[in-house]
């Protein structure tokens, strides 16, 4: 049986209580809203994109510990990366939370994002962990529409 | 803590004997299992309830011995299936104390019952500028059908407000009973808050102005005696799967005079008397509203479920659940950081709460690991969540097979959540 401490690691709880980059980004030139109808989680991701690089990233919203921590850690992980790199990171992250795979050598290293590896044992929580990422991708594609995990 | 609260809980006084919950649990095979290595504590009965052995037996018997279509064949199997199906209609009639079997329409569930009324009654009676009155505590299935109707007809949906305890504000409700209101549709018991509405008053006030009333009985029928004649409601809808019967079956009660005057709902087989390409005449009640092959096994299973709960006695069920609810309310109120959402004086079966600093979704995941099944989310009642300024709640909902020990397990589970997130 999975231990809840593996899902809710200290880092996850800390980020959920004191999320980083948790504010509106006044000079953002990209943003998108995400919504998870299953639990009512709402998130807005703001990006300041300059020459194809994510100069700054932030988020706002309300959600469960997993979705808030995931958004918080995501903003740190993608800051300074190119849009392309951010998308690749999402792919590796998606693999991690759906299959529990440690990424192979070719994949983008996950660093701190690895704290979410146990999400794969809680299939209903995958949507929580990926909501901010789906929203980021949609912001980068610059669609202003609301993305939904359903 | 357990012992003290236990002693404070009065034993169910009326009616007569207390219910033997261990014997009852033995009738529910699903309750014997373990989840994540812990005994299952099934506290999600407002979403759907579990099925006693007689219901499972009835379904199996139908499919192994009597399976055939109804109202169609002259052969033996069809005769048996038809008789069993119609016997179940009689059981639903007795369950609701309706005057006649033809006032009981088998539907898919509460949702289809409400939609049937919105479609058949609504499209005939409601015109531009008319109004439909509901309350702020409705399930989406008693909101959306009326929005669809109102949009189509250019009518308006009026919403009677609730107070901070989650009770209907009856004076405000009465003010909204305006001349153009064509139907009042309210929930008997709220699924998100547990509030039991003052339906007698609601019906009296509405009828005084000549307005018919539909009651959404999805959360009332499993917990209390319902008497549609004493209530004098015009329509009553409930779901079989919440009264310990199968999914995909439910019933709509309607007063015969109203149903008779309504056009049909779905066209198809069984709902007609004769069809030519020039003219079709409709069948009489209740068949006019039962187009197509119905959920025959489901109806028979529902009949078995009704036999089962009426065998225990709805008053005994209500008395037992009241003691369980009081016990659970105290247990949760004793946990710091827990805020109950829905504290109406008249309540049934529901403990909806938020835990300070922890999102309901996380509460649900931790409780699941303890074998406790609860629902987290908006409970198909987003306007209720908005009214209380919260995105979601954790909801434990009770049935007569739940025990005081399971309530203790819930309380201990919440303590665990607090430790983890502390
Ligand atoms: C108050 C209320 N009304 C209506 C419904 C809809 O019932 P069903 O989904 O069985 O049609 C529910 C079910 O959750 C309910 O709780």
The H-or-E segment that residue B76 falls in is helix B76-96
Domain boundary among the residues B310, B334, B363 is at B310
Measured in degrees and rounded to the nearest 5, phi and psi for residue B166 equal: 90, 25
Q: Test B391 with A125 for CB contact under 8 angstroms.
A: no
The range of the structural domain enclosing residue B304 comes to: 57-310
Instruction: Identify which of B225, B233, B220 has the alpha carbon closest to the alpha carbon of residue B187.
Output: B220
The DSSP code sequence of B228-256 is HHHHT-SEEEEEGGGGTS-TT-EEEEE-H
Ligand 1 site, residue B343, Cβ cutoff 6 A: no
What are the boundaries of each domain within chain A? 2-148
Domain boundary among the residues B310, B332, B357 is at B310
Residue B234 and residue B218: Cα distance in Å, rounded? 16
Residue B175 and residue B178: Cα distance in Å, rounded? 7
Strands B104-107 and B250-254: antiparallel
Within this chain, do residues B287 and B153 fall inside the same structural domain, yes or no? yes
Structure tokens at A118: 């146990």
Q: What is the DSSP letter of B358?
A: B
Within this chain, do residues B159 and B227 fall inside the same structural domain, yes or no? yes
Within this chain, do residues B291 and B341 fall inside the same structural domain, yes or no? no
Interface of A with B in 99-138 (CB under 8 A): 122, 124-125, 128
A133's torsion region: left (phi>0), alpha (psi -120 to 50) or beta?
A: alpha
Chain B residues at the A interface, defined by Cβ less than 8 Å, are 36-37, 357-362, 365-366, 369, 376-378, 385, 391-392, 420-421
Q: Is the dihedral of CA B160, B163, B169, B175 positive or negative?
A: negative
For residue A85, what pLDDT is reported? Answer: 95
Which residue in A1, A42, A63 is closest to B36 by CB distance? A1
Within this chain, do residues B215 and B322 fall inside the same structural domain, yes or no? no
Q: State pLDDT tens for residues B329-353.
A: 999 999 999 999 999 999 999 999 9
Q: What average pLDDT score do residues B261-286 get?
A: 90
Within this chain, do residues B291 and B272 fall inside the same structural domain, yes or no? yes
Minimal Cα–Cα distance from A42 to chain B, Å?
9
Q: State pLDDT tens for residues A17-61.
A: 999 999 999 999 999 999 987 777 899 999 999 999 999 999 999
Q: Provide the pLDDT confidence category of residue B9 given band limits of 50, 70 and 90.
A: very low
Measured in degrees and rounded to the nearest 5, phi and psi for residue B168 equal: -65, 135
Within this chain, do residues B61 and B46 fall inside the same structural domain, yes or no? no
3-class secondary structure, B397: strand
The H-or-E segment that residue A45 falls in is strand A41-50
Looking at the DSSP bridge assignments, the partners of residue B39 are B34
Name the architecture of domain A2-148. Answer: Alpha-Beta Complex (3.90)
Look up B67 and say whether it is catalytic: no
Q: State pLDDT tens for residues B139-181.
A: 999 999 999 999 999 999 999 999 999 999 999 999 999 999 9
Ligand 1 site, residue B111, Cβ cutoff 6 A: yes
Q: State pLDDT tens for residues B176-202.
A: 999 999 999 999 999 999 999 999 999
Which residue in A5, A17, A39 is closest to B392 by CB distance? A39
Which residue in A4, A62, A124 is closest to B369 by CB distance? A4
Strand segments (E) across B29-175:
34-35, 38-39, 41-42, 104-107, 131-135, 156-160
Closest residue in A to B366 (Cα–Cα): A4
For residue B187, what pLDDT is reported? Answer: 98
Residue B421 and residue B205: Cα distance in Å, rounded? 49
Q: What's the total number of domains in chain B?
A: 2
Residue B422 and residue B415: Cα distance in Å, rounded? 10
Task: Say which CATH number the domain at B121 has.
Answer: 3.40.640.10
Within this chain, do residues B252 and B320 fall inside the same structural domain, yes or no? no
Residue A34 and residue A54: Cα distance in Å, rounded? 19
* Maximum distance among all Cα pairs of chain A, rounded to whole angstroms: 47
Domain boundary among the residues B292, B310, B328 is at B310
Q: Test B421 with A125 for CB contact under 8 angstroms.
A: no
Task: Say which CATH number the domain at B318 has.
Answer: 3.90.1150.10
Q: What average pLDDT score do residues B309-313 get?
A: 97
| Complex confidence, ipTM | 0.86
Could you tell me if B190 and B164 are in contact, meaning their C-beta atoms sit under 8 angstroms apart? Answer: no
Which position has the token pair 């087989």?
Answer: B269
Give whole-number Cα distances, B239 to B46, B92, B199, in Å.
11, 11, 19
């Amino acid at each position: 049986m999975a231990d809840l401490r593996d899902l809710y690691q200290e880092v996850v709880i800390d980020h959920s209580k004191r999320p980083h980059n948790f504010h509106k980004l006044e000079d953002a030139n990209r943003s998108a809203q995400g919504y998870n109808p299953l639990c009512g989680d709402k998130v807005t991701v703001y990006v300041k994109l300059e020459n194809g690089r994510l100069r700054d990233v932030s988020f706002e919203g309300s959600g469960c510990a997993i979705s808030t921590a995931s958004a918080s850690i995501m903003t740190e992980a993608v800051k300074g990366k190119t849009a392309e790199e951010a998308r690749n990171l999402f792919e590796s992250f998606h693999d991690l939370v759906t299959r529990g795979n440690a990424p192979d050598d070719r994949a983008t290293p996950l660093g701190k994002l690895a704290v979410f590896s146990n999400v794969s044992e809680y299939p209903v929580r995958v949507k929580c962990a990926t909501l901010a990422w789906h929203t980021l991708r949609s912001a980068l594609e610059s669609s202003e529409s609301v993305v939904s995990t359903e | 803590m357990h012992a003290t609260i236990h002693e404070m809980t009065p034993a169910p006084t009326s009616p007569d004997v207390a219910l033997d919950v261990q014997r009852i649990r033995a009738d529910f095979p699903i309750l014997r299992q373990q989840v994540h290595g812990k005994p299952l504590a099934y506290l999600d009965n407002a979403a759907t309830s579990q099925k006693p052995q007689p219901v499972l037996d009835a379904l199996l018997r139908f499919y192994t011995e009597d399976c055939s279509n109804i109202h169609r064949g002259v052969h033996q199997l069809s005769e048996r299936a038809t008789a069993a199906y119609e016997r179940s209609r009689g059981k639903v009639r007795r369950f609701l104390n309706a005057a006649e079997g033809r006032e009981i329409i088998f539907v898919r569930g509460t949702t289809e019952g409400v939609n049937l009324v919105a479609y058949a009654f609504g499209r005939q009676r409601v015109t531009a500028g008319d109004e439909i009155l509901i309350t702020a505590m409705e399930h989406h299935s008693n909101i959306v059908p009326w929005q669809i109707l109102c949009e189509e007809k250019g009518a308006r949906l009026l919403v009677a407000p609730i107070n901070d305890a989650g009770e209907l504000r009856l004076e405000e409700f009465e003010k909204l009973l305006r001349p153009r209101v064509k139907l009042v549709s309210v929930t008997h018991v709220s699924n998100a808050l547990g509030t039991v509405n003052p339906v007698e008053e609601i019906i009296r006030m509405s009828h005084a102005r000549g307005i018919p009333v539909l009651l959404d009985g999805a959360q009332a029928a499993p917990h209390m005696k319902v008497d549609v004649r004493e209530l004098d409601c015009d329509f009553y809808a409930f779901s079989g799967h919440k009264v310990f019967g199968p999914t995909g079956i439910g019933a709509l009660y309607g007063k015969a005079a109203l149903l008779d005057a309504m056009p049909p709902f779905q066209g198809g087989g069984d709902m007609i008397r004769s069809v030519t390409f020039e003219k079709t005449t409709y069948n009489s009640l209740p068949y006019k509203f039962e187009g197509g092959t119905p959920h025959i096994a489901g109806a028979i299973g529902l009949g078995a479920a009704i036999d089962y709960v009426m065998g225990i006695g709805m008053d005994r069920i209500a008395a037992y659940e009241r003691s369980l609810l009081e016990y659970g309310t105290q247990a949760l109120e004793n946990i710091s950081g827990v805020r109950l959402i829905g504290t109406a004086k008249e309540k049934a079966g529901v403990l909806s709460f938020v835990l300070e600093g922890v999102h309901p979704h996380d509460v649900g995941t931790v409780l699941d690991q303890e074998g406790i099944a609860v629902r987290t989310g908006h409970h198909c009642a987003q306007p209720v969540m908005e009214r209380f300024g919260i995105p979601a709640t954790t909801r434990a909902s009770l049935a007569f097979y739940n025990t005081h020990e399971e309530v203790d397990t819930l309380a201990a589970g919440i303590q665990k959540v607090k430790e983890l997130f502390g």
